[in-house]
Structure 1
């Protein structure tokens, strides 16, 4: 028997939305997967040919790009940041919708004109996307890399602006920030290691089609 395919799924906001798609695709994790007290990272499913690992969203892309997992679920924000050539993203899962935006303090935004920017200091966990965005506008971006708590950076003087994911905008508002530019709309994608796509096509292709069909059924419901 071939080795089981490993699917990397992200901890956090996307996880709850993606599990109904797994069920529609015929994949059900072992009970321990739903145990919030469990520290396990690898899980079996009701299919002997499929296993799951649960890791940080940014790490999903790395595990799949390097072949430690063959398939994964990750936001398009992560794909934009890493731009791994080893990854193929065949299915937009139509979940995890949000946007990647530039935000700044509301009092600054009231008198600020983004068209006048020539240099910006930005706190973000997306330095590559941020630099590319501003370079395209002819703006020099000095990026301060943070992995979380972005909204506090302007308050404490670490940076004037941030680039981060925005959903409802509530977290920004509670920290006195407002969106001033939208960089990209974001949704979760099914990703596949390109080598596995070729060498394990008999296993990978049916899974891709199962997820594509699951998305279509969700949209039709």
Structure 2
């Protein structure tokens, strides 16, 4: 049986994906859930897990250091990686939206958009025929409209609580986001039987 190397992000996605794998009948070590290690073995299933930052998972899969991975659709939209998207796992559901201060118009000359998703934001506003200036930030995106750095932000929305707590309102929904199972194209050919078996078991769990 071929060993599968699986890249997974820590946090909410990891916890929900772990439950899916266990529910699908895979025998995973309990310490996997709270391990501080970056590489964890599950010898009973011949799985090797790489625990990575969410943005890095598709990179590891694209370059073949991981055969498969679990990544948010937001990451896949932002970074055009050469990977196969095999299954929508339906976990960690949220969406990308535009937001800003209530009852405000965007600058008529060059609206400024703050985001950690510059590619997604650029594509969205281009599709609307709007020319904007993208300001890339890595954290506290909600701060940008409050200090006059941007007219709008483009960010992930889960419950909307963070926007509300900072006095912001949602304007436009851009895309629904869930986590996806992805595969390296070469690994998918060489280990197709194992990967297909995994996909089939997970599909039964998520009902897709």
For normalisation by structure 1, the TM-score amounts to 0.86
1:213 is aligned, of 181, 184, 204, to: 204
Report the Cα offset of residue 111 of structure 1: 4.3
CA distance in 2, matches of 1:59, 1:17: 18
Q: 1:55-204 residue pairs with structure 2 within 5 A? A: 55-84=52-81, 86-106=82-102, 110-112=103-105, 119-204=110-195
Q: For the residues of structure 2 that align with 1:143 and 1:12, how far apart are their CA atoms?
A: 28
Deviations 1:44-81 (A, max 9, x none): 12534211111111111111111111111111111111
Q: CA deviation at 1:202?
A: 2.5
Q: Is contact 2:26–2:45 with CA below 8 Å preserved after alignment?
A: no
Bigger Cα displacement from structure 2, 62-71 vs 154-163:
154-163
Contact map agreement 2:18 2:33 (CA 8 A) in 1 = no
Q: Are 1:54 and 2:54 an aligned pair? A: no
Tell me if structure 2 keeps the 8 A contact 1:10–1:55.
Answer: yes
1:128, distance to aligned residue in structure 2 (A) = 0.5
CA distance in 2, matches of 1:15, 1:119: 40
SS at the partner of 1:164?
A: strand
| Structure 2 gap segments, 5+ residues each | none
For residues 172-212 of structure 1, the C-alpha deviation after alignment (integer angstroms, 9 at most, x for no partner) is 01011111011101111111111111122122221111211
**RMSD, aligned CA:** 1.9
Q: Report the Cα distance in structure 2 between the residues aligned to 1:162 and 1:102, rounded to whole angstroms.
A: 5
Shift of 1:118: 6.0
> Are the counterparts in 1 of residues 144 and 150 from structure 2 also a CA contact under 8 Å?
yes
SS at match of 2:8: strand
State the aligned residue count.
208
For 1:60 and 1:190, locate their aligned partners in 2 and report how far apart those are by CA, in whole Å. Answer: 11
Residues 129-153 of structure 1: CA deviation (Å, up to 9, x unaligned)? 1101001111112222222211112
What corresponds to 1:15 in structure 2? 14
Normalised TM-score (structure 2): 0.91
